[in-house]
Amino acid sequence: DVTLLVIGDQSTVGTDKAFQGQYYREVATVGEHFDRDNLDPVGAQLDLLKAVVAASPNVIVVLIHGRPMTFGAGPGDGYNKAYTDAAAVLAAWHPGEEGGAAVWNILSGEVNPSGRTAHTWPRTVGQVHQYVPYYLEQRTRPITNQYADFAPATPLVPFGWGLSYTNFTLGKVGLLNAAGSPCDERAKGCNVSLADGTFSVQIDVSNTGKVDGKLVVQVYFSQQLASRVRFSQMLLEFAKVSVKAGATVTATIPVPLTNLEMWSKGDDKYVVESAVYDIMVGQWAYDPKMAHHQLTVA
């Protein structure tokens, strides 16, 4: 047997405008000017989730929500144990009028999910300042170090994370110059000029499962030496690649050099600095199998 549990927030957008004043504020739990001091489910929903998960080993949690969520972040709740004990969690956000059909199509297997998190989900509100973006954490605390109360320092859900009914592997990864020719990275990396305006990432994507699926290939970058402090890893580009079961496709992802830009106060505009950039390609932000390449912009 499978238990389907739907929890989450009531948006101000979907709340009847007849509910005004204080009652309106009591009904809605997320929206503009509806800030909260914690990210756990509102009201008794966390207690309900913990009770259902304890009673059934096959709980699918569907979240109807408007913000990242935690699920009992403190030690008394086992540091989000209700989340890790659930068989699956589907983040539906506020999916609109066709949301019911979309959710059912994913749960029934009619559609193979391919969405990825566009936010880092912290384990507790105490991590929020360290995970906006997630890689700021690397500047302040190694992710292998627990907090003083023994809570894990890793995020609950990392940026770019998502599951599928199949599995993917990334094969050969290379950089192409503006002309579309492979770079000779054995010599001195991939060299492009600002006048070129673009380069490309070429990658082999294999579907090793038995179900057709789509993978979001994610390209990140880090500037080795910059005129100002930049985050140690930032999203550069991404592409959703469709792959039949058992097949391998070669995807080419164009990357405008403007994606490397940052604001220059002195120039009063966005600029791309002539520098060496590390280019990383993987399936999510903290993918241990991330492929690393080097790009020199002159």
pLDDT tens-digit series, residues 229-240? 888 889 999 999
Averages of pLDDT over each 10 residues, the chain, 298 residues:
93 60 65 83 94 95 94 82 95 93 97 94 79 49 67 85 97 92 73 93 97 98 92 93 98 97 94 96 94 93
Separation of alpha carbons 291 and 279, rounded Å:
8
Q: In what order do the strands lie in the sheet with 190-192?
A: 190-192, 291-297, 275-282, 213-223, 234-243
Separation of alpha carbons 174 and 182, rounded Å:
7
Identify each DSSP E strand in the chain by its residue range.
Answer: 3-8, 59-64, 88-91, 168-176, 190-192, 198-207, 213-223, 234-243, 248-256, 262-264, 269-271, 275-282, 291-297
Identify each DSSP E strand in 109-256 by its residue range.
Answer: 168-176, 190-192, 198-207, 213-223, 234-243, 248-256
Are 283 and 160 within 8 A, CB to CB?
A: yes
**Phi, psi at residue 265, to the nearest 5°?**
-65, -35
Separation of alpha carbons 27 and 176, rounded Å:
54
Residue at 202: amino acid letter? Q
What is the per-residue pLDDT for 137?
44
What is the per-residue pLDDT for 222?
94
Closest-CA residue to 210 (of 245, 160, 182, 161): 245
What is the per-residue pLDDT for 138?
47
What is the per-residue pLDDT for 70?
94
251 bridge partner residues: 203
Separation of alpha carbons 284 and 298, rounded Å:
29
